[in-house]
Structure 1
């Protein structure tokens, strides 16, 4: 266990009837020693892969939360995610449920206390330990659910019903990077098969599916919240969604066009390796002559990596915040068949 896991455990009762773990796969073994029943939920499929099958649950609802009297949670960075988790727990868990939510002190803020207080009558904070702290909540306030949320927007000349969960990237808004890509979607090639890689709320996948109704459009993300948001936003368009950590669902040279506006880090971690691995997978899955459209923060050095790993990369558009590039896949340029 890391310091966050340890402070969660240190502030918990010694035993529980039904212990729910949220986004904290490292706590499963300890939970099995303390509770009669243990369930674990992870929004990120990479975390879910670390949890044994007999503990992992595939949703949070009245059925899976029934009888939960203790929750161990890693505090999400997004207040919307904390609000949605709190709403679900307060609405469906046991009357005596206690929530112990931990995080690194540098990532905590008083808005987290206020968010919990919107769903629980008692909220307090632990003392700090190893630069970590836990928030404790009890006394659930039952209420009508407001998550997931949706609204009608006009973007790319189309009116869409955009859905989002609390943990969805850019929840409830069109982020500047996505908007830059949308502004240039009319320059994306006509093709048979498209992929929205890192789909978020599903705006790109939905717009592509509407513009190319005879084509196959897929959307993938590591976040369950993103995948479910995309499924709702793209309803009726035929978009296929994938909750996946990689492009393993796609064969070599399976895709003609990939559009990509993913987060280039995981949580607070700054590490280029996952991004480079993503580019490598895209290169494998793209057909010869296929296009990889990528938008990223302008200060990041991804253009050179795209040229090296995928093919000739051109600058399509740039503003002070974001850069949009198009890479053309040419296997002969990389000594590949």
Structure 2
């Protein structure tokens, strides 16, 4: 266990009937020591891969009615915290205690009213190893309000956009995606498209509308993103993948890859996932296939894209974001 896991466990009852562990795979072993029943929810597939499959749950529902202790690694997003607190308040026993923690530098006072909206009693622990736990009890039996949806405009076309609290850019078109949308009509028509890091499904939906009859593969490590994309793209030929890779797709089988790659994992900056996406794109793209990428202009992606995918050109630069096009060039063996 890391310091965040330890302060979570240290501020919890010694025994419980049923522990629900959320986004904290490092606490699963300790949970099995303290409770007869353990359930685990991981939004990130990379966390889920660390947990025994039989412990993982796919939904928050009445199966959690006897959960009396919840351990949660505090998310960055207040929306994600609100959704988790809402679900716990709605489905778990009236005796449930929710203990959530993070390093002090990632805590903010806005988290307090979010928890207080769903629980009658709330307090913060003392600091420990530069971490702190927030403890809530007395669920208010919240009404379920997540996921949410609303109409956004992509080009001249309205889109019914769905999102969860943990979905990137929940409920809006982020600046990077908006810059890519402005040049989307420059992308050549395609029959097989991959949206890497699909978020709420904006690019997948636009690709499906732009190229009727094409197949769109939407990939994300976040379960919230995948469910959001499925809802946003209802009725469209979009196949979703809760996964870190598309290794099951054949090499050189894709015409176009679009991506707004992440450069964070949780609270930490991390370029590894983005570079991994570029490697996957290079494997999937056919000869002369194109990778369209939008990213913060200060990030050094162009060199990586040229090395991994092929010749890379800047298409536009606006509002601190740059769109590039990389053309896959395969060398004959």
So what's the TM-score if we normalise by structure 2?
Answer: 0.98
Q: Does 2:121 match 1:122? A: yes
- What is residue 267 of structure 2 aligned with on the other side? 268
The offset of 1:185, in angstroms, is 1.0
How much has 1:71 moved relative to structure 2?
Answer: 0.1
Query: Offset of 1:207 from its aligned partner?
Result: 0.8
> CA separation in 1, counterparts of 2:248 and 2:178?
27
- Partner in structure 2 of residue 94 of structure 1: 93
Equivalent pair of 1:121/1:139 in contact (CA under 8 Å): yes
Q: Distance in 1 between matches of 2:155 and 2:319?
A: 21
- Tell me by how many angstroms 1:203 deviates: 0.5
What do residues 59-114 of structure 1 show as CA deviations (whole Å, max 9, x unaligned)?
A: 22233x22111000000000000000000000010000000001010000111111
SS of 2:224's partner is helix
The alignment status of 1:234 with 2:237, answered yes or no, reads no
State the alpha-carbon separation in 2 of the partners of residues 273 and 81 from structure 1: 24
After superposing the two structures, state which structure 1 stretch, 86-95 or 241-250, moved more: 241-250
The Cα of 1:320 is off from its aligned counterpart by 3.8
Instruction: Identify the residue that residue 39 of structure 2 maps to in structure 1.
Output: 39
- Residue 251 of structure 1 corresponds to which residue in structure 2? 250
- Please give the per-residue CA displacement for 1:176-217, whole angstroms capped at 9, x wherever unaligned: 000111111111111110011100010100011011111111
Is residue 99–residue 136 contact of structure 2 (8 Å, CA) maintained in 1?
A: yes
* TM-score, reference length from structure 1: 0.97
State the alpha-carbon separation in 2 of the partners of residues 66 and 321 from structure 1: 47
Residue 262 of structure 1 deviates from its aligned partner by 2.4
Partner deviation per Cα, 1:199-252 (whole Å, 9 max, x = no partner): 001010001101111111110100000000000000011211110011223221
Distance 1:91 1:191 in 2: 45
Alignment of 1:71 with 2:70, yes or no, is: yes
Query: What residue number does 1:162 align with?
Result: 161
Provide the rounded CA distance (Å) in 2 between the counterparts of 1:74 and 1:110.
Answer: 16
How much is the aligned-residue C-alpha RMSD, in angstroms?
1.0
Query: Which whole-Å CA distance do the structure 2 matches of 1:54 and 1:192 have between them?
Result: 38
How many Å separate the matches in 2 of 1:100 and 1:106?
18
Q: Secondary structure at the match of 2:180?
A: helix
The unaligned stretches of length 5 or more in structure 2 are: none
Aligned pair count reads 333
Does structure 2 conserve the Cα–Cα contact (< 8 Å) formed by 1:259 and 1:292?
A: yes
Answer yes or no: is the 8 Å Cα contact 2:44–2:221 preserved in 1: yes
- Structure 1 alignment gaps of length 5 or more: none
Find the aligned partners of 2:228 and 2:61 in 1 and give their Cα distance.
16
SS of residue paired to 2:37: strand
